[in-house]
């Protein structure tokens, strides 16, 4: 048996073994190289941020392109956004942009409109609805084709706290009385913001909210939800998905009307017990969006802080908040 097991010459067996070993290391090296490329690609596409509903503990990596309920999280340069923009190409879509310009906030209006003319829905029909206590303070600006300014006088006290109690009611009224008959989509923005990069039709959807730039990568238990149980803005500790900013939200006219009307009713009911939520209308907005989840979520690209210049995750800033 020993002679049979060694019936092949030993030198030939040695050559086969060396070739096998060489092929093994070649294939092993190739697999290692490809694995490294895959890991690099995955790490570039994933951000280490907290999943909705994760109160504490270790951070969980996931691709921040979709919510647990299937709504896209919008990044302006993503493939989904490119497809979305193509969908609206050559469509006669009309969009309204509503801003409240009260008291000293008039100083921001000129820069707001000039930047919007450059970057907000270029080549689309846009109407700027300016709700103001000073019609003469609206600057004369030459607008592009298919774009117009419509001012509305509102008799408001020139202080931000009072406006935070009435803005939702005013917005719901102007949508019902005028805007819903003129545009397909309506967005509400704070006027103390500026557009710095293109904001296109990737933002258009039925109900659109924007992730707050200070909480998008924080755990749920740090969100500043209203915790007073008597308030209509109250959020229980077991509730919540994301925390949204009130500086930019919108959608179709029927959906935004329903949002603004419901929030205004919440505010009025709280005022009847001499209470107003901790973070004003933003608290009521978040309460509403927990019960009525948005169909599109804008990433913090669309509401970044002007004072915060760098971020590993937010490489492109599209709208800057000047006062926060």
Give the closest residue to 212 by CA, choosing from 60, 118, 105, 319.
319
Calculated CA dihedral for residues 290, 291, 295, 298, nearest 10 degrees: -20
Does 282 qualify as catalytic in the annotation? yes
From 282, 301, 312, 313, active-site residue: 282
Cα distance between residue 305 and residue 212, in whole Å = 10
Q: What residues are annotated to the active site?
A: 282
């Amino acid at each position: 048996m020993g002679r049979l097991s060694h019936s092949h010459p030993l030198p030939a067996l040695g050559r086969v073994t060396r070739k096998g070993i060489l092929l093994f290391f070649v294939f092993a090296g190739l697999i290692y190289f490809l694995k490294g490329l895959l890991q690099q690609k995955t790490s570039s596409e994933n951000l280490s941020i907290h999943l909705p509903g994760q109160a504490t503990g270790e951070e969980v990596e996931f691709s921040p392109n979709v919510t647990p309920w299937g709504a896209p999280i919008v990044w302006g340069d993503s493939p989904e956004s490119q497809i979305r923009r193509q969908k609206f190409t050559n469509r006669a879509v009309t969009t309204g942009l509503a801003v409240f310009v009260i008291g000293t906030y008039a100083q921001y209006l000129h820069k707001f409109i000039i930047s919007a003319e450059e970057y907000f829905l270029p080549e689309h029909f846009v109407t700027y609805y300016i709700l103001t206590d000073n019609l003469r303070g609206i600057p004369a600006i030459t607008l592009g084709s298919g774009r117009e300014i419509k001012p509305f006088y509102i008799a408001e006290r020139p202080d931000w706290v009072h406006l935070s109690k009435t803005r939702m009611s005013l917005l719901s009224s102007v949508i019902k009385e005028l805007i819903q008959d003129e545009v397909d989509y309506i967005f509400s923005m704070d006027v103390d913001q500026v557009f710095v990069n293109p904001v296109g039709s990737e933002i258009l959807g039925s109900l659109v909210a924007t992730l707050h730039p200070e909480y998008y990568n924080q755990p749920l238990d740090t969100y500043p939800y209203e915790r007073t149980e008597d308030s209509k803005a109250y959020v229980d500790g077991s509730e919540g998905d994301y925390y949204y900013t009130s500086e930019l939200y919108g959608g179709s006219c029927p959906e935004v009307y329903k949002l603004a009307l419901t929030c205004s009713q919440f505010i009025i009911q709280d005022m009847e017990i001499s209470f107003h939520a901790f973070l004003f209308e933003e608290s009521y907005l978040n309460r509403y969006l927990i019960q009525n989840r948005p169909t599109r979520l804008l990433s913090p690209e669309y509401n970044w802080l002007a004072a915060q210049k760098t971020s590993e995750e937010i490489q492109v800033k599209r709208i800057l908040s000047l006062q926060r």
